[in-house]
Amino acid sequence: MKYSVGYQLTATADFVQTIIENKDSIYEVYFAWDGFANGRNTTYIANDFSQWDAQKRKMDDLKTLSQNGIKLNLLFNATCYGAESLSRAFFESIGATTDFVKNTFGLDSITTTSPLIGKFIKDNFPGIDVRASVNMSIGTPEGMDYVSPYFDSFYLKRELNRDFAAIKEIRSWCLDNGKGLYALANSGCLNNCSAHVFHDNLVSHENEIRKMDNGYVFGGICKDYLRDTQHLRSIFDITNFIRPEDVHLYEGLFPALKLATRVSGNPIRILKAYIENKRFSGSIFVLLEPNHTNVVYPYLLDNSKIKSTVVNEKLKYSGADSALIRLEE
Beta bridge partners of 291: none
User: Residue 106 CB: number of other CB atoms within 10 A?
Assistant: 16
| Per-residue model confidence (pLDDT) at position 37 | 85
Q: Are 243 and 280 in contact (CB under 8 A)?
A: yes
219 occurs within a structural domain: no
51 occurs within a structural domain: yes
Give the domain CATH number at 105: 3.20.20.60
Q: Tell me which H or E stretch contains 322.
A: helix 320-323
Collapsing DSSP states into helix, strand and coil, what is residue 326? Answer: strand
| Per-residue model confidence (pLDDT) at position 329 | 54
229 occurs within a structural domain: no
Positions of the chain with pLDDT under 70: 39-47, 329
Range of the domain at 168: 3-191+239-281
311 occurs within a structural domain: no
215 occurs within a structural domain: no
pTM above 0.85, yes or no: yes
Compute the radius of gyration of the chain from its Cα atoms: 19
144 occurs within a structural domain: yes
Q: Are 185 and 241 in contact (CB under 8 A)?
A: yes
Number of structural domains found in the chain? 1
214 occurs within a structural domain: no
- Can you tell me the distance from the alpha carbon of 200 to that of 78, in angstroms, rounded to the nearest whole number? 7
Beta bridge partners of 41: none
307 occurs within a structural domain: no
